[in-house]
Chain A
């Protein structure tokens, strides 16, 4: 197993010659063994990114590498579940697993696949078209895990699941990561459900990567600040990176993600570039606050470190 699970360099994808760019200029690196959350609003490009990594689409520009090689060569080692969990409606659950075994000869883990299916009390003779959404998710996950992937790409896997199934299947995925070091990449547009299980974040907004890195490092690199401001003129909420005209001079030289002035109070989310003044009240942001701030301010400079920035004290 290589030590980079997934990496992209200036990756872009456009559908059709005159279509809009679903993804543009995406660069990031995901080390192996992580559980990564791909977060962003609907239509941000999360599904496109996962489909590119799974080898289902060819990039329009740039490149993406998976497990050290291109996605087409890594097909046998990568598991993928699409957002609509496609399955063969005319087959039964048991036959579907057998097709999985047919397609992955020599690599198929029948025991794991059957265990996931039976944990949901699924009748193996039931036809796929008669299954509920949650049951289909279960079968789709069983197919993906049965091929013993080194990298798992899951597009909104928990969408159809009730809380009990969600907990149980998340536990199964985490156990997989714990036992085999499988890298798991899950997309969602709800931050809360991924916070405890993921240690890496990829924030995609408007087709671009806004944040990429270890969650702990990303949080440590940001600080919420609150201070009194001299001016009472309402200033725009833009996050100019260097306090240029339109920004707030008090916040320079730190990189501002989001700032707001109410009355005489200035609050902001910044990436400190040095020591902060003592009279500023500071606190650590939560993951949701961080994600929201970047999504609300698309002009803020993205943070996709190869090495994490040093967090200012």
Chain B
């Protein structure tokens, strides 16, 4: 059974997080074909998010063909994702490369930056369909999603006053 952890400060939409975590669970084999996903009620009781968010996520998973909703019974996993077993040759190659990078005196951040650059070159950046990420910041700040911190009204007001020229 998969348990969802919603990170409210990640800047990623909640339903996207559910989709991503479900796919992750499928990849890791926590969820397998035929398993029942938790009901919307179970998810919201544990996470206190809106039930429609869960339904939206499940609908997207259904669109991707990963799950199917059976009326009155629940939502079930249809098929798994391509899992990469721990002993695949790709993993072995990556291990060897990591050893060589360490020998070349690269630290963790260097490796991460290098890897992200290569990732961006070969794989499309995941598009947030609702356009919530700041388009402005994406062109100027390529190092990750924008952090929208949730503070109460007073803080936000103060912050706005501190950065008069900053539109975001």
Q: Name the segment of A43-51, A73-81, A96-104, A169-177 touching the other chain.
A: A169-177
Interface hits, B147-168 → A, CB 8 Å: 148, 150-153, 156-157, 160, 164-165, 167-168
B41 near A: Cβ within 8 Å?
yes
- By the criterion CB–CB under 8 Å, are A171 and B52 in contact? no
- By the criterion CB–CB under 8 Å, are A177 and B51 in contact? yes
Across-interface contacts of A129 in B (CB, < 8 A): none
Interface hits, A146-178 → B, CB 8 Å: 167, 170-172, 174-175, 177-178
- By the criterion CB–CB under 8 Å, are B8 and A196 in contact? yes
A289 near B: Cβ within 8 Å?
yes
A189 in contact with B45 given A177-B51, A265-B165 (CB within 8 Å)? no
Looking at the complex, which one of B8, B50, B153, B165 makes contact with A291 (CB distance below 8 Å)? B153
Complex alpha-carbon distance, A195 and B149, angstroms: 12
Across-interface contacts of B135 in A (CB, < 8 A): 282-283
Across-interface contacts of B132 in A (CB, < 8 A): 284
From residue B21, how far is it (CB to closest CB) to chain A in Å? Answer: 15
Complex alpha-carbon distance, A195 and B151, angstroms: 11
- By the criterion CB–CB under 8 Å, are B8 and A281 in contact? no
- By the criterion CB–CB under 8 Å, are B131 and A284 in contact? yes
Q: In chain B, what residue has the closest Cβ to A39?
A: B153
Looking at the complex, which one of A167, A179, A225, A283 makes contact with B48 (CB distance below 8 Å)? A167
Contact with A along B123-148 (1 / 0, CB 8 A): 00000001110111100000000001
Looking at the complex, which one of B6, B47, B152, B165 makes contact with A192 (CB distance below 8 Å)? B152
A216 near B: Cβ within 8 Å?
yes
Additional pairs, 10, CB under 8 Å, beyond known A35-B51, A260-B164, A267-B167: A35-B50, A175-B45, A178-B40, A179-B41, A191-B153, A196-B6, A199-B53, A283-B134, A292-B156, A292-B160
The number of residues on chain B lying at the interface, defined by a beta carbon within 8 Å of a beta carbon of chain A, is 37
Looking at the complex, which one of A174, A263, A286, A289 makes contact with B49 (CB distance below 8 Å)? A174
B25 near A: Cβ within 8 Å?
no
Complex alpha-carbon distance, A139 and B82, angstroms: 49
- By the criterion CB–CB under 8 Å, are A197 and B136 in contact? no
Total A-B Cβ pairs within 8 A: 93
- By the criterion CB–CB under 8 Å, are B157 and A174 in contact? no
Across-interface contacts of A283 in B (CB, < 8 A): 134-137, 167-168
Complex alpha-carbon distance, A284 and B11, angstroms: 12
Complex alpha-carbon distance, A13 and B150, angstroms: 33
A288 near B: Cβ within 8 Å?
yes
The 7 closest A-B pairs by CB, nearest first: A174-B44, A178-B51, A170-B48, A226-B167, A175-B45, A178-B41, A192-B150
27 contacts between A and B (CB under 8 A): A35-B51, A171-B44, A171-B46, A171-B47, A172-B45, A174-B51, A175-B41, A175-B45, A190-B152, A192-B152, A196-B6, A196-B14, A196-B48, A196-B49, A196-B53, A197-B48, A197-B50, A199-B53, A224-B168, A226-B136, A262-B164, A263-B165, A284-B131, A286-B148, A288-B151, A292-B156, A292-B160
- By the criterion CB–CB under 8 Å, are B48 and A288 in contact? no
Interface hits, A204-234 → B, CB 8 Å: 216, 220, 224-226
A198 near B: Cβ within 8 Å?
yes
From residue A279, how far is it (CB to closest CB) to chain B in Å? Answer: 13
Q: In chain A, what residue has the closest Cβ to B135?
A: A283
Looking at the complex, which one of A174, A224, A292 makes contact with B45 (CB distance below 8 Å)? A174
Across-interface contacts of B167 in A (CB, < 8 A): 224-226, 265, 267, 281, 283
From residue A41, how far is it (CB to closest CB) to chain B in Å? Answer: 8
Looking at the complex, which one of B6, B39, B130, B157 makes contact with A292 (CB distance below 8 Å)? B157
Q: In chain B, what residue has the closest Cβ to A172?
A: B45
Q: In chain A, what residue has the closest Cβ to B156?
A: A288
From residue A174, how far is it (CB to closest CB) to chain B in Å? Answer: 4
Across-interface contacts of A292 in B (CB, < 8 A): 153, 156-157, 160
Complex alpha-carbon distance, A177 and B40, angstroms: 10
Across-interface contacts of B164 in A (CB, < 8 A): 260, 262
Across-interface contacts of A179 in B (CB, < 8 A): 41
A284 in contact with B50 given A178-B41, A196-B6 (CB within 8 Å)? no
Q: In chain B, what residue has the closest Cβ to A175?
A: B45
Across-interface contacts of B44 in A (CB, < 8 A): 171, 174-175, 177-178
